Amino acid sequence: MRVFLTGATGFIGSHIIPELLAGGHQVLGLTRSDEGARTLEAAGVAVHRGTLEDPASLSAGAAQADAVIHTAFDHDFSNFVANCEKDRHAIAALGEALAGSDRPLLITSGVGIGDPGDGEPAREDVFNDRHPNPRVASEALAQTLLADGVDVRVVRLPQVHDTVKQGLITPYIALAREQGSVAYVGEGANRWSAAPVGDVARLYRLALERGTRGARYHAVAEEGVSARAIAEMVATGLGLPTVSLSPEQAPAHFGWFARFASMDLRASSAWTRAQLDWMPTGPGLIADLQAMDYAPPLATA
């Protein structure tokens, strides 16, 4: 298949590319820059110029493809609500281009939206439209597109990691460096699911090749790693103390991150593994945090 990949130069997208090429697919990658175009061409990928802010450019890319994998997202979490709305508009443009065909559209969401609200891990068969994650709007739109005949499939992400990036934990580390301590809320008993980026990339390919219309897949290798365990490993890496905060203290310390700090984002992938024969093999989150370089990033001119 010829696959239009948004986010092609991003953390996850750049790992999806070799998966797709090794599977015999052609890739048309979205980029906004000359540097991105050079990177894609060097990887053996055709280039499509466009941005999330220009939905027409997304529709044009999708019109040239047999399938679409949408991983692009504006990761400025301080402006998260607006960026989730931007994602919804992007998905609408992609879906419009694929309407009336059997070409699949794989979109990206978060595992929390599968939270059943009963204290159990999130599941693939649950769509919690009242979850506080504003990215729920993207999945709500997916339901509309599905009803309109588009072959939409959802890949829900946990904390996706390697030794350089770890999802929300990357800005958490930067915040800890700024604050001089590594904080968690209460006893730090809330847990976050996680998966190594290589395994996540393979899941996208499997969801494309073996997935079914309307299905939701959880890219989860570890069902839940406690916030305290994460904080303690980060504290060791940074050489900083840990501190427990009350829920009332959390906003002043965390700022925009406070909405995530006490969330419990456990998730199961049992159904996904059975449906796609997907078995994660990469390192765990704590192992990658232990192996990473905690030196502060060099300032750029």
pLDDT tens-digit readout, 262-296: 999 999 999 999 999 999 999 999 999 999 999 88
235, two tokens: 């504290």
- Residues 286 and 14: their CA atoms lie apart, in Å, by 23
- Residues 10 and 33: their CA atoms lie apart, in Å, by 13
Among 268, 267, 262, 192, smallest CA distance to 226 is for 192
Q: By the 8 A CB rule, do 11 and 197 touch?
A: yes
- Residues 237 and 251: their CA atoms lie apart, in Å, by 24
Rounded (10°) CA dihedral 29, 30, 31, 35: 0
Q: What is the pTM of this model?
A: 0.96
Count Cα atoms within 13 angstroms, Cβ side, for 58. 28
- What percentage of the chain has pLDDT greater than the value 90? 92
Mean pLDDT estimate for the chain:
95
Q: Which residues pair with 26 in a beta bridge?
A: 2
Q: By the 8 A CB rule, do 66 and 101 touch?
A: no
Q: By the 8 A CB rule, do 134 and 140 touch?
A: no
More confident residue, 123 or 100: 123
